Amino acid sequence: MSEHVHIPKVGTLVAVWAALIVLTATTAAVSFLELGEWNIVVALLIALLKASLVAWIFMAVRHAPTLTKLFCIAGLVWLSILIMITFSDYSSRSWTYQAKPWSHAKSAPATQP
């Protein structure tokens, strides 16, 4: 069965480990810089890069069957749906109703007696 088992090289694994440690030090160091809104962007981008390295090499997604890769992507799609719909709810709760011109087409706005 050895022909379809991909045995990773130790050098590759150690290189990924080193990259993850360096990225951890980088994200901690960058958090001390004053970048305004960009602090959160940089922190999340580095986290995304680290997670991708772990998934691609350590979790061997690169050698996984296409169907498994599709399932990984489906997980990310569902996660983004979860976050986007939650945010579309919370970010629109403070919106107030304003009558648009076409709202008055059929009935005049209610007036106080």
**26 burial level (CB within 10 Å; 0-12, 13-18, 19+):** middle
Residue 15 as a binder of other proteins (CB under 8 A): the answer is no
Closest CA to 42 of 55, 57, 56, 23: 23
The nearest distance, CB 1 to other proteins, in angstroms, is 5
Residue 90 as a binder of other proteins (CB under 8 A): the answer is yes
Quick one: CA torsion of 40, 42, 46, 47, rounded to 10 degrees?
10
Site for other proteins in 54-73 (CB under 8 A): 54-55, 57-59, 64-65, 67-68, 71-72
Closest CA to 30 of 14, 43, 13, 17: 43
* Contacts with other proteins, residue ranges (CB under 8 A): 1-2, 4-5, 7-8, 10, 13-14, 16-17, 20-21, 24-25, 27-28, 31-32, 34, 39-40, 43-44, 46-47, 50-51, 54-55, 57-59, 64-65, 67-68, 71-72, 74-76, 78-79, 82-83, 86-87, 90-91
